[in-house]
Every structure is written in structure tokens, then in C-alpha cells.
Amino acid sequence: MKRNVLIIGAGGVAQVVAHKCAQANDRLGDLHIASRTLAKCEAVIASVQGKGAMKVPGVFAAHAVDAMDTGAVAALIRDTGAQIVINVGSSFVNMTVLEACIETGVAYLDTAIHEDPAKICETPPWYGNYEWQRRERCAQAGVTAILGVGFDPGVVNAYARLAADDHLDRVHSIDIVDINAGSHGRWFSTNFDPEINFREFTGTVYSWQNGVWQENAMFEVGQVFDLPVVGPQKAYLTGHDEVHSLSAAYPEADVRFWMGFGDHYINVFTVLKNLGLLSEKPVVTAEGLEVVPLKLVKAVLPDPASLAPDYVGKTCIGDIVRGVKDGAAAEVFIYNIADHKEAYEETGSQGISYTAGLPPVAAALLIADGTWDVGRMVNVEDLDPKPFLNLLNGMGLPTRIRDAAGDRALVF
């Protein structure tokens, strides 16, 4: 049993985490949120109070912290008495926050892989570069660290595990498909931090096929998927965190990640990339100023959090899992449909933040009640998916399945 949550980060995802923690503060205890900028944390709490989201009267406090400073994070954990840290800050702070959790013996959750600001697309499996090197220390310290427990990675890992456990005897392939069929009404915007968004697409696209790492370029391989609710959608083979853990869990299966992109996004991305404006390496202007192009691009693009009020439409994210069942070829699509407007009305964030921010709160609840408090470092597919998906069903991200028997809700 663990209580008291410290949220690291104060962006759109953190706002969803805050709302969802508040809605369950009877089970989670005191809530704290910390980021570099105190005012952003206070704005998140104001949004929570504005919606009357706290289930019972309780603590929700804002803190300023430099999350790159392990000592500062550890001190904050001790000061707040937090036993669960939900890290939804920049991907650059994962390891310093994890170290603070190991040092203080509290549970750690994140939603995206650690990144070094100076490197893009390191060698696969990505988790091997930073996270998994700390597996033993987590086990020794009895620290529960759940890696990548957003939607994708996260819920889609649970979907893969569920398909393998319950729906197929053998798994041949896991194709994760992420479609955002929503519209933000801006000329161009990324749906989350542009720096992280573009970094995902500038490096090598790794997929796991025929038991080896396959390398492609972004937008090199595309196909149309005909999906529930959102209809036919073009998606492209994309590098993504979950490929790097699912390929270890299911090495016999092909593991691919597909992300939907419109032609407009691809055009803007292509122009910026080909001009060198997505580079993380500094260039020097004629005036002698050293500038990282990607950081300037981030500065001129809309703040993704600002898109929420006008965002309409739906997302469809799920796993097409193919294999053998009772001796015959079989396929299931396990998925969720989320709605941008509903997400905004509930939490003040759009659907992309909603799908990413709700799952770590479900995971925190499973740590709080002991179900997932495993005392070691895991990826989501290492855990029993059913209590997690059941919680999500009730919290706003219901799971559905489409297979030979039709399309229906999945409840356990």
C-alpha cells in the first residue's frame, strides 16, 4: 500500500494526470506537482480546483524543482512524503527522477523513454541505453518502476499482452496503430512538445521483423488502415518506445508501430527537416549567436496545450495482433476511441494529452492498492493487463476489440 503522489511536469499531460489524481484522491492521498516553473504548476492546480475535481478535501500543492537535479527531486520526495512519483516532465529528466526514486525507495512511473538532449535515435533496444541498466538497482531497492505507462507506450503494451494471453495461441505480429483523426484548426501544430515530437521522426525508424532490427527512414513505409469510427487512415512506419520492449517480450513476433500523418504534416516536416531546422545540433548565425534550430522551431510553434479549447474529433489507438488460434490464422484489433472535446471538457487538455495522462494514474492506483506494486522495474507487458484495463474502462479510456466475432467492449 502506497500513498501520496508527486507529479513531475506541468504540461498538457501533467494537467490530465492532476485531474485524474484529484478525482481519486481518496485512494491516492496528498497530491503534489513540481516543475521548473512554479506558475505552471499553480495553473494546473487552479484548473483542478476550477472543475471541482478533488474527490475529497485534501492537499494539492505546487513546487518548483529542477528535475535534472536528483538531489533536489529526492529532497522534494522526502518533504512531501510522496510514495508514488508520476514523471510526465520532459523526456530528458527521466533518469535523474528515477535515481531520486531509487534513493528514496518510492515508486516511479513515466510515459516515454529517456532521452539525451544531445542524441537522437540511439541503438535498439532503446530501453537498454538507460532504463534497463537500472533494473538490478530497482530490484535491490525494492523500487517499483513502471516504464512507459502512457497510452502508447503503455496501454498498447497491455493490449499486446492481453491478445497473447487470451486471444491467440501464437503471436506472429503486433502492429500498433496510432491515429489522431482530430482537428486543432491551426495552420500547423504538433500535438505534444514539438521538440520531442520531431525528435521521434528525424532518426532511423526501427522495427522488429523476422527476429532482427529493421531500419527504415521516416515516411518511407506507409499503408492505409481501415479502422473503427475514424475510417480509412494513412499511417507510416514510425520508431516508437514500445517496439523496443515488446520485441524483447515477444521476440518471435514482428513488432511495428504505425502513426497516422496527413500530407500537410508531412510537407511541413519535410521542409523543416531538409532545411536542417529540426536539428538538435547548434548552428551559429552570422551575428555569432549559437542556436539549436529545433529549439527555435519549438518557440515559434503553438504551445500544444493551447490547442485544447478548439480541438474536435477522435483518436483511435490500438493493436492489430495476428497469429494462430486453434490451429487457424487469427487476427484481433484491441483499441480505444477517445474524443478531444470530451477530454477538454473534463480536464482542460485535448485528447492526445488525455490518452497519455490517464493511464499512469490508473497505474498509480494499482500501486496504491498493491496490485502492481511489484518492487522492481517493469514494462507494462510484464504486468497483468486486466486490472489495468478494467480501471481504464471506468476512468474514461474504455477498451474495445474487433475480431472474427465482431466489434465489442472488453470488460473483465
Q: Which residues bind a copy of itself (CB under 8 A)?
A: 187-188, 267-268, 271-272, 274-277, 279, 283-287, 289, 291-293, 295-301
Q: CB of 92: closest distance to a copy of itself in angstroms?
A: 12
- All three cell numbers of 26, joined, read 481518496
Between residues 187 and 226, which has the closer beta carbon with respect to a copy of itself? 187
Between residues 183 and 223, which has the closer beta carbon with respect to a copy of itself? 183
Q: CB of 278: closest distance to a copy of itself in angstroms?
A: 10
Between residues 187 and 405, which has the closer beta carbon with respect to a copy of itself? 187
Q: CB of 122: closest distance to a copy of itself in angstroms?
A: 23
- All three cell numbers of 155, joined, read 496501454
Q: CB of 221: closest distance to a copy of itself in angstroms?
A: 22
Pairing of β 5-8 and β 84-87: parallel
Between residues 291 and 411, which has the closer beta carbon with respect to a copy of itself? 291
Q: CB of 11: closest distance to a copy of itself in angstroms?
A: 11
Q: 356: left (phi > 0), else alpha (psi -120 to 50), else beta?
A: alpha
Q: What is the DSSP string of 64-122?
A: E--TT-HHHHHHHHHHHT-SEEEE-S-GGGHHHHHHHHHHHT-EEEESS----TT--S-
Lookup result for grid cell 516515454: 112
| Residue 371 φ/ψ, nearest 5 degrees | -55, -45
Between residues 190 and 207, which has the closer beta carbon with respect to a copy of itself? 190
Distance CA 266, CA 45 (A): 36
Which helix (H) or strand (E) segment holds residue 141: the answer is: helix 135-141
C-alpha to C-alpha distances, 153 to 44, 134, 177, 261, 394, nearest whole angstrom:
24, 19, 11, 18, 20
Between residues 64 and 277, which has the closer beta carbon with respect to a copy of itself? 277
Q: CB of 188: closest distance to a copy of itself in angstroms?
A: 6
Amino acid in position 318: G
Q: CB of 184: closest distance to a copy of itself in angstroms?
A: 14
